Amino acid sequence: MSVPVGGASSPFFAVGGTTVDRSPAWAREFAISTFGTNDKPALFIGMSILIVVFAAIAGIVEQRRRPYGSAILVGLGAIGVYAAVNRPDATATYAVPTIVGVLAGVLALRLLTAQLWEPETGDPREHSGISRRTFLGLAATTAAVAAAAGVVGRQLAERVAGAVRNRSAFTVPTVAAADSAPAIAAGTDIAVPGATPFLTANDDFYRIDTALQVPMLTTDDWRLRIHGMVDREITLTWDDLMSRTPIERTITLTCVSNEVGGDLAGNATWIGYPIKDLLDEVGVPPDADMLLSGSHDGFTAGTPIEVLRDGRDAILAVAMNGRPLPFDHGYPVRQVVPGLYGYVSATKWVVDWELTRFDQAQAYWTRRGWAERGPIKTASRIDVPAAFARLDAGPVLVAGTAWAQHRGIEKVEVRVDGGPWQTATLAPQYTVDTWRQWTWQWEATPGAHTLQVRATDLDGVTQTEVQTGPVPDGATGWHSLSVTVS
C-alpha cells in the first residue's frame, strides 16, 4: 500500500526513520559503536521482534478482554500515522497505508479470536472448530491481502528494476587529461598484507547515513533546486549537469562517528562537477555563509560556503572508482567535500541546495547537538599487526594509515610500551586530500607489548593524547593495541 503513496509512508520505515531522527546523540553513537555499518539491520531486527511481541500481546488481550487487544493495535497505528505524516515532504496521504494496515489487523484479530468468544457472557470458551462465517471472513481477508501484496510487489519490483536499468545505462563522463586525477605513484600503496589498500573498493567503502530505505532515483527523476540567498534561483536537471565539464579527483572521506583506530574512512576516485562553479552561477551574497544541502530522504547538511570556494575540489560526484555511484553511496548524485566530516558535507541523493546562514538554519545533526562546521581532525591507525596478535620475536613490520584531509600528513611516529617515539617511514603523499600510509620496523622482544601511533599534519600540529569520543566534532586520542611476542 505504501508503494503508490510513497516509500516513506510505510509505517515500518516511518517509525524506524522517526526513531533514528529523534534518538539522542549518545544513542546513535552506541548503535554505530556496537553494530558499526550493521546499525540499520539491527534496528530492523529489533523492530520486527517488537512487532511480533505486541501482536502476541494484542491477541492474548483481545481473547480475554475484548476489545482491548484491538485498542492496542489502534494505539500502535496512531504512532505509525504520526511518524508517517511527519516524514520529510509527507502529505496527508502518508497516513493511508498505516490506517489500512490497522483496519486489516483489527479485522484479522477479531476474526481469529471470535471463535473463542461467548457473546452472551463475554467469557472465553473452548471451541472445537471454526464457524462458516469466520472461515469465509478469513478467506476473503487473506485473498484481499494476497492480491494487494501482489500488486504492490510488482510496482516495487518495476521501480527498482527501472532504477537498476537506468544506472546500468549511465556512461561515466569522459574527463579531459588536464582534469583527471594524478596517477598514483609507485609506493603510494604499501601493499602490506592486512594493511588498508590505498584505494577503497566500492563494495568495501563504509556506509553511514540516515536512510532506512536506499533511494532508488533515476537520472530522469533527479533535480537540484538551488534557492535561498542567491541572485538567481535555478533548478538543475540531469542534462544540465551533464553539459558541464567534469573533473576527476581522489579524495578520502571520514565519518565523524569514527572512533580512534576505527574503519569509518575510505579513499576513492570520484568524477563530478565543481560546486564552486554552480555557486558562482547563481550568485551568493557576502552575508550568506552556509550551504544547506538536502537529500531525497530528508537528511540535511550545513556546509560553510567559504570551504566550498577556497580552491579545494568540492564536487557533485556522479562516479566512484570509474563506475556510476552505487545506490548505497548516492546514485545518481552526491556531494564530496575534502576536509570535512560527512555529516556537514557529504550529502547523498542530493536534490536541494538552500543558501542561508548558520545563525538562521540548522542541519540534521547540528539540531541534535553536533558541531556546526566539522573539519576533519588529524588521525592515525595501526593496521598491522592486528590487535591481540601473537608474534614471533625478531623483525616485525608495523604498518598503518594516517589522514588529515586538506592539510596532509608530515610525520607518523610509533612507540612501544610508552617508550620513546620512533619515526615511521611514510609512503609518498598522493595529495593533501587523501590518507597516507606508513611502515615501521620493530625488533620485537618476548612478552606482552602495547603499540601506539600518532601523526603530525603539515600545519605542524600533532595529534593530542587526550581521549574524547566522537560527539560533538570527532574523536581524539592515540590509537593503541596490544600484542604478545614469543
- The C-alpha atoms of residue 303 and residue 336 are separated, in whole angstroms, by 11
Q: Which pLDDT belongs to residue 102?
A: 75
Q: How far apart are CA 400 and CA 436, in angstroms?
A: 9
What gap in Å lies between CA 253 and CA 273, rounded to an integer? Answer: 17
Distance separating alpha carbons of residues 118 and 108, to the nearest angstrom: 18
Domains 177-368 and 379-485 share a fold: no
The confidence score (pLDDT) of residue 431 equals 98
Q: For residue 385, say if its preceding peptide bond is cis, omega within 30 degrees of 0.
A: yes
Please give the pLDDT value at position 77.
Answer: 77
Domains of the chain by residue range: 2-168, 177-368, 379-485
Tens-of-pLDDT digits for all 486 residues of the chain?
Answer: 454 555 566 776 667 667 766 666 666 666 666 666 566 577 667 767 877 777 778 778 777 777 877 888 788 778 877 777 776 666 777 777 778 777 777 777 776 676 555 454 555 444 444 555 554 555 555 555 555 555 555 556 677 889 999 999 999 999 999 999 999 999 999 999 999 999 999 999 999 998 888 999 999 999 999 999 999 999 999 999 999 999 999 999 999 999 999 999 999 999 999 999 999 999 999 999 999 999 999 999 999 999 999 999 999 999 999 999 999 999 999 999 999 999 999 999 999 999 999 999 999 999 989 999 999 999 999 999 999 999 999 999 999 999 999 999 999 999 999 999 999 999 999 999 999 999 999 999 999 999 999 999 999 999 999 999 999 999 999 999 999 999
Say how far residue 116 (Cα) sits from the centre of its chain.
48
Predicted local confidence at residue 22, as pLDDT: 67
User: What pLDDT score does 28 carry?
Assistant: 60
Residue with cell 581532525: 377
- Give me Rg for the CA atoms of the chain: 27
pLDDT (0 to 100) of residue 46? 75
Q: Are 405 and 432 in contact (CB under 8 A)?
A: yes
Closest CA to 17 of 103, 99, 82, 101: 82
pLDDT confidence of residue 38: 65
Q: Which residues contact 267 (CB under 8 A, 6 or more apart)?
A: 198, 199, 200, 250, 251, 252, 253, 434, 435
Burial class (CB in 10 A: 0-12, 13-18, 19+), 85: middle
- pLDDT of amino acid 230: 98
- The correct answer on CATH 2.60.40.650 for the domain covering 379-485 is yes
Q: Quick one: pLDDT at residue 120?
A: 46
pLDDT of residue 167: 96
Distances (CA, A) of 438 to 198, 344, 427: 11, 29, 6
Nearest alpha-carbon partner for 284 in 261, 306, 269, 266: 306
- CA–CA separation, 363 vs 300, rounded Å? 5
Superfamily grouping for domain 177-368: Oxidoreductase, molybdopterin-binding domain (3.90.420.10)
Distance CA 293, CA 427 (A): 36
Within 8 A by CB and 6+ apart from 200, the residues are 266, 267, 268
From residue 284, alpha-carbon distances to 89, 309, 314, 357 in Å are 26, 11, 17, 11
pTM of the model: 0.78
Task: Give the contacts of 103 (CB within 8 A, at least 6 positions apart).
Answer: none
Strand pairing category for 409-416 and 422-423: antiparallel
Answer yes or no: are the C-beta atoms of 303 and 344 closer than 8 Å.
yes
Residue whose cell numbers read 538552500: 354
Whether residue 257 contacts residue 473, with contact meaning beta carbons closer than 8 Å, is answered with no
